[in-house]
Structure 1
């Protein structure tokens, strides 16, 4: 990317603001727009999406999945020939395919970019996964500025899908830990359970996933009863048991499927 090229960041919240600051620090010319957040030092502010994207080589849309389509529609008219619109918002693959279709109809090159780790503390060095027609170019533009962009073959939506599949595990695990510790606090043994969880996570190895999956299927009936008792106990402790109840329901389904075979 030439020294005169502009990178536009739409959305200057936690993630977008961090990316914008790091891009400036890496020597890039950065323009930004956010109706609610002031542009960081070194970022040229714009009054609208259309003004922000005018003449930019690369547009990073980091606002929200809810606003992603409107941001594109508001800014598309100002996108220069050959410019790339990269959507970094966390949304379903269908949203990325919709954006890709809108971009194609306007002659704009598009990339679906998934942010694969928390941004605070990492900024532009947060691992990114990109796919779509312009994915290689996004990696080529951001890589020299310090970004870590892995390119995934396939149409727009593939990167978003992988991020969300990963979220099912990581966010589900986090939610289970939070619920379990809340219940343990109510039962008067939070420190014991916290230490037990840490020990289990530290001892996890390559065989852990196979052990969890195989054991869950093999012992679904017994474990469904166990999680029903766990959910009942949380009711007695007056602790919401969303995760315990969901585990019970999943195990009930697996047990039913097993009995039908």
Structure 2
């Protein structure tokens, strides 16, 4: 039976540990701060107890602790194991972890989690790069874990994840600013309808229109976002996204 060690038993770690156990893997979990209290998860008291017998080590400890935990775990990993870091971190961090793994003669997978884990559990879409990417995908395949292995070495998957974060977190900030302003103006239902209408059509065409139209009409749009920011000030609501929009549009005038 394939043995998987899950380091970090927060929300995502517990979900992966449970789902992988249900898929037939022998799962060992380690977390010095969290007690899983789940009969399906064998929680052990030390990092070494989790990783010594493991074919796959999954790190879900958070980016800040990722390097420290890797330094603890890697010396105890079997030489044929894969160390998979699923934490959201910088490409530089992933390269550092890959170097630590290489020094321990352990294959490393930089794994980007591409959606919130609670939605689909272990079937959340993943992207992996690094020396252990293909082997990682092979090991979790029996649990129907969707993994796209990409070239580029450790850090490549993390880079794509952060590019996606620019879009998703930037979009979230825009939505928050819209909701805040619409609530202050008493126009939440109308503005929500406008947003849904724009995003329900040909989204590829919308992206082209926004990008190309901004380059062609930058001067006019600078004035429009200035007026929009001024209106939000009248409403007493933040205009942080509008201010950033003005900066971007103004920069296009110099191209």
Q: Same fold (TM over 0.5)?
A: yes
Q: Contact 1:50/1:76 (CA < 8 Å) preserved in 2?
A: no
1:141 and 2:139 correspond: yes
Partner of 2:172: 174
Give the deviation of 1:251 after TM superposition. 1.0
Q: 1:205: Cα distance to partner?
A: 3.4
Q: Secondary structure at the match of 1:120?
A: helix
CA distance in 2, matches of 1:103, 1:74: 11
2:207 counterpart SS class: helix
- Deviation (angstroms), 1:60: 0.5
Give a deviation string over 1:46-66, Cα, whole Å, max 9, x none.
223232212211000011111
Q: Is residue 83 of structure 1 aligned with residue 92 of structure 2?
A: no
User: In structure 2, do the counterparts of structure 1 residues 74 and 210 end up closer, same or farther at CA, with 3 Å as the change threshold?
Assistant: same
Deviation at 1:187, TM superposition (A): 1.1
- Alpha-carbon contact 2:198-2:206 (below 8 Å) kept: no
Cα displacement (A) at 1:220: 1.2
Contact 2:4 2:57 in 1 (8 A): yes
Which residue, 12, 35, 42 being the options, matches 2:32? 35
Q: Distance in 1 between matches of 2:133 and 2:177?
A: 39
Aligned to 1:6: 3
Question: Aligned-pair distance for 1:13?
Answer: 1.5
Partner of 2:222 in structure 1? 224
C-alpha separation between the residues in 1 aligned to 2:33 and 2:198? Answer: 43
CA distance in 1, matches of 2:39, 2:190: 47
- Residue from 212, 237, 240 that aligns with 1:239: 237
The question of 1:26 aligning with 2:23 is answered yes
Residue 144 of structure 1, CA deviation: 1.3
TM-score, structure 2 normalization: 0.96
TM-aligned CA deviation for residue 236 of structure 1: 2.1
Q: Which residue matches 1:102?
A: 100
State the Cα distance separating 1:121 from its structure 2 match. Answer: 2.3
Q: Compute the displacement of 1:92 (Å).
A: 1.2
CA distance, structure 2, for counterparts of residue 140 and residue 81 of structure 1: 17
**What 5-or-longer segments of structure 1 have no aligned partner?**
none
What is the RMSD computed on CA atoms of the aligned residues?
A: 1.2
Q: After TM superposition, what 4+ stretches of structure 1 lie above 3 angstroms from structure 2?
A: none
**Which residue of 2 is the match for residue 188 of structure 1?**
186
What are the Cα deviations for residues 163-205 of structure 1, in whole angstroms up to 9, with x where unaligned? 1111111221121011111111011111110111111111133
Alignment partner of 1:63 out of 61, 71, 96: 61
Comparing 115-124 with 226-235, greater Cα deviation is found at: 226-235
Asked if 1 retains the 8 angstrom alpha-carbon contact of 2:7 and 2:59, the reply is yes
Residue ranges of structure 2 left out of the alignment (5+ in a row): none
Instruction: Kindly tell me the number of residue pairs found equivalent between the two proteins.
Output: 254
**1:225 CA displacement:** 1.5
